[in-house]
Amino acid sequence: MSHAETMIPPQPAPPGIARPFTAQRLIGNIALGIWLAASVGLFLLMVDGWDPEKFAKYGPSFISGLGVTLGLVGASITLGALLSLPIAFARMSKNKILGWAAYAYVYFFRGTPLIAQLFLVYYGLGSFRPQMEAIGLWWFFRDAWNCALLTFTLNTAAYQAEILRGAIQSVPRGQTEGAAALGLPPRVAFFKVILPQALIVALRPYGNEIILMIKGSAIVAIVTVFDLMGETRRAFSRTFDYQMYVWAAILYLIMVEILRNLWAWLEDRITRHLKR
């Protein structure tokens, strides 16, 4: 008979296998090093070129530029959402002419650069000044901000119409049929059954569209609207100080990141019932 006479003395855990120093790790460390060096370099550049006078002079104008950007994007996204409803329905309608017209609208606004559309409205329509004055619309097109708002609204309406159409068509047919079987009128069925399910699908593309608009809105600086980009360009042209662009980049990144995280939270929230 054999039995243990003594307990095995406690021993330290065997040493972990050392991670090999692979080529991937080397490249990763080098890349991180480059980022670190770049951020330290930018930080030093900003500390080095720090000028309280400049900050006091251009800081408020950056804030007002930020306000102009947010206002422009907010207004055009809202108006575009309203305008996108009839376009999406025209696109889905059985009427050939209506569907074709909506398709042409969407194709034009999605196929051409936003900046070319802006020039077409601001400079192009601006060249019809006498006619505009005759019909009393000149006050609107005289202001670059209004032209930018009009262009962005038309542009985002085209994109949002496609998002909405895709989302509505992604809801299975059975949902419509089920609503009909329950005797719901089509209008109620659309708003209470189809749309809530479609909006879950549409949420992420909507977020992307808003981010695209925030980024795209930078081009209004070229038609003399002083948004964040416009204020940056003005400040740069007066000081030739490169850190103005760095400040603008940081502000844009903060805006986009806040929106992205907000959207991730929203999506998490409204798809609670789908999680298992």
For another protein, give the closer residue by CB, 158 or 179.
Answer: 158
249 binds another protein (CB under 8 A): yes
Nearest to 69 by CA among 264, 215, 212: 215
Restricted to residues 190-219, the positions that interact with another protein (CB under 8 A) are 211, 214-219
3-class DSSP string for 218-254: HHHHHHCCCCHHHHHHHHHHHHCCCHHHHHHHHHHHH
Residue 201 burial class via C-beta count within 10 angstroms: exposed 0-12, middle 13-18, buried 19 and up: middle
- Rounded to the nearest whole angstrom, what is the least distance from the CB of residue 243 to another protein in the complex? 11
Nearest residue to 200 (alpha-carbon basis) of 137, 273, 258: 273
Cα angle, residue 257 at apex, residues 237 and 166 outer, rounded to 5°: 110
How far apart are alpha carbons 236 and 205 in whole angstroms?
A: 34
Residue 101 vs 222, nearer CB to another protein: 222
Number of residues that bind another protein (CB under 8 A): 50
Window 106-125: residues binding another protein (CB under 8 A): 107-108, 110-117, 119-120, 123-125
Closest distance between another protein and the C-beta of residue 153, in Å?
A: 17
In our burial notation (b when 16+ CB lie closer than 10 A, e otherwise), range 118-145 reads bbebbeebbeeeeebeeeeebeebeebb
Using CB under 8 A as the binding rule, whether residue 221 contacts another protein is answered as yes
First to last CA, the chain: 55
Closest separation between CB of residue 141 and another protein, Å?
Answer: 12
Judged by beta carbon, residue 89 or residue 245, the one nearer another protein is 245
Token pair belonging to 52:
């309280």
**Which pair of structure tokens corresponds to residue 274?**
């789908």
Q: Which is nearer to another protein, 193 or 229 (CB)?
A: 229
Of these, 134, 182, 253, 270, which contacts another protein (CB under 8 A)?
Answer: 253
Choose one: 88-96, 157-165, 190-198, 226-234; the region binding another protein (CB under 8 A). 226-234
252 makes contact with another protein (CB under 8 A): yes
Selected from 56, 127, 269, 275, the binder of another protein by CB under 8 A is 127
Binding footprint of another protein on the chain (CB under 8 A): 22, 24-25, 27-29, 31-32, 34-35, 107-108, 110-117, 119-120, 123-128, 211, 214-219, 221-222, 229, 232-233, 236, 242, 245-246, 248-249, 252-253, 256-257
